[in-house]
Amino acid sequence: MLALLGTLVVIGGLFSAVLVDLQALRPERYQDVGLSQRIRTQTLSGYRGSILDRDGFVLATSTPGFEVVADPSMIEQPGATAAVLAPVLGLEPSVVETALRGSGPADRFSMIVPEISDVAFQQLEALADDEAQRGVLSGVFVRRFEDRVYPNGTLARPIIGGVDPDENGTYGLEWQFDELMQGRSGSETIERGVFGSITGGFHSVDPAVEGHDLILTLDHRIQHVVEESLIEHCQETRANGAQAVVSDPRTGEILAMATVVRNENGTCSVPLHNATLVETFEPGSVLKIVTAAAAVEQLGMTQDTLIDVPASVQVGDVEFFEHGAGHVAAPYPMSQIISQSMNVGTIRLAEQLGKETLHDYLLAFGLGQPTGLEFRHEARGRVADPDDWYGSDLGSIPIGQGVTSNAVQLNAAYNVIANGGLYVPPTLVRMTVDAEGESHNVAQQGSRRVVGGATADEVTDMLVGVVEHETGTGSAAAVPGYSVAGKTGTAWKVFREGPDAPLTYGYNGNRRYIVSFAGFLPAENPQLSITVVVDEPQTDNTAGRVAAPVFADIAQYSLRILGIPPGENFVDSGDLVRGTPAPNAGASGITETAAPGSEE
């Protein structure tokens, strides 16, 4: 009896010691164990904002996804666990078992499958709640993540951009508005018992905050039409690539902005880079509107003013020739100089203006200036300071050589004429919308006057002649039922004949060309502005036969989509007329030094 009593005393003492340890010496440890068993915290995702077009069409969005991972050090029976998981994941048991074993004893993380369906997720949840399977699945975890989705494939992707696996913007608008679009994750903590949540138990929520949505000025229908049209014409002309910008000149809103390039296999497709903003080119004769507008505004000229146009003109050390062997030296009205894209005639106008005045007008029209879109890696183009002009630059720059521009800048320059002389900055993002649905306007630059309304009207009439006059270079840009104002441009392209060769415009028989057409319609009430650029077409090197038809195709579809009614005058496209070949741009482009602006 004494022995039994002593044993009970010892046992009682041990229990007392354990109770002291549990309740006095180390209570926090066991409290934490208890809490971990009944308190569960789950992450609430704050999804990245979506990107939508002007009508709410989704261009980019984030959706919930689930991945299955494992801690190999916690897997006691990889074969048994694989046998349970494989049917749910749709994988071979041997593949799952290999992933569960990891790379070695020290491996604490192994990806089993990067994404599962909602059905598979529900099946795994059911297995986790099954007492019989819970031990087998110890060390296997299902993690929630966001999946960035672009429902329309490559549509507008050079503009929209992309994100990395962690949903951080890497380029395009995804990068530019990354901080605003990023959501903030939250959490929900609940107290659970064996049979689920405890009524009246602890419950705390730190709500997730969703990122802002971007509402763009783009119209997905016009964007699609432009991309398809550029791909078709790029294929037909075997060009290196093509670009186009479509905008509403009244507001500066960009309705479409597209880039296509020729791939190594010979097909044309939409790339990831937005060439309309990040690449520049020498625009050629499309830039003659600046010289024409400056002559009207500063010299009081009109479209009927006669200008002596000889067969050639000497500027510095270079002689510029009027294109066309049949040119007759005589006075020509300014309207004909523009409609027939006379190089010598335009140079004569520039000589009367002077290089300082011409330089100022180029800047005023937005050339060599930021567009204000703040797109990553946007190229500003180059308009050299007058003190840095070469002797022949007063001959080459008025006709669009020796100065560089991107396609959006060129489109905005034509919008100056369409808007009665006002420069309206281009815009790409209409507004942002926060998680509460409240809209926020995006800061935009203000408009400014460049030339007077009367000057813009005179230049518009000249541009209409480019399309409607029987000898105009842009007749292929005509759109039945509408009056089109526009201009062709055929420019020599700067290139290297070898890796270490100097930049050059080449020589006759070895030229490379960039052709373009820029314009707006209806000319009497401009509501649509389109700029088309084609890089190195192989079937023809004239803008009138390459770029002007693309303009017409895009215009006809866009007018119908937007419901813009035709004007009073029916325009007959007539026969195609040869466009303007590029001139000799002068010593600045053919010596061992780079042509002005070529480094852009």
Q: What is the 3-state secondary structure (H, E, C) of 380-438?
A: CCECCCHHHCCCCHHHHHHHCCCCEECHHHHHHHHHHHHCCCEECCCECEEEEECCCCC
Query: Do 545 and 559 sit in the same domain of this protein?
Result: yes
Evaluate whether residue 231 is within a structural domain: yes
597 versus 386: the higher-pLDDT residue is 386
Give residue-wise pLDDT tens across range 307-345.
999 999 999 988 999 876 678 889 999 999 999 999 999
Q: Does an H or E element contain 362, and which? A: helix 355-364
For the chain, how many residues are written? 600
Query: Do 212 and 228 sit in the same domain of this protein?
Result: no
Evaluate whether residue 79 is within a structural domain: no
Q: Above 70 in pLDDT, residue 192?
A: no
Evaluate whether residue 504 is within a structural domain: yes
| pLDDT band, residue 593 (cuts 50/70/90) | very low
Give residue-wise pLDDT tens across range 17-65.
888 877 877 777 666 666 666 666 655 456 889 999 999 999 999 887 7
Q: Above 70 in pLDDT, residue 595?
A: no
Domain of residue 346, residue span:
220-428+440-590
Q: What is the pLDDT of residue 56?
A: 94
DSSP per-residue letters across 472-492: -TTGGG--TTS--EEEEEEEE
Query: Do 501 and 542 sit in the same domain of this protein?
Result: yes
**Predicted model pTM:** 0.79
Evaluate whether residue 232 is within a structural domain: yes
Query: Do 251 and 357 sit in the same domain of this protein?
Result: yes
Across 368-483, the runs of DSSP E, i.e. the strands, are: 422-423, 429-433, 439-441, 448-449
Give residue-wise pLDDT tens across range 105-155.
778 888 888 888 878 888 888 887 776 666 778 888 887 777 889 999 999
Q: What is the pLDDT of residue 19?
A: 84
Query: Do 472 and 454 sit in the same domain of this protein?
Result: yes
Total number of domains constituting the chain: 2
Q: What is the pLDDT of residue 574?
A: 42
Query: Do 244 and 304 sit in the same domain of this protein?
Result: yes
| pLDDT band, residue 508 (cuts 50/70/90) | confident
Q: Above 90 in pLDDT, residue 291?
A: yes
| pLDDT band, residue 536 (cuts 50/70/90) | very high
Query: Do 256 and 345 sit in the same domain of this protein?
Result: yes
Q: What is the pLDDT of residue 500?
A: 81
Q: What is the pLDDT of residue 338?
A: 95
Query: Do 187 and 278 sit in the same domain of this protein?
Result: no
Query: Do 395 and 282 sit in the same domain of this protein?
Result: yes
Per DSSP, the three-state class of 336 is helix
Give residue-wise pLDDT tens across range 379-411.
999 999 999 998 899 999 999 999 999 999 999
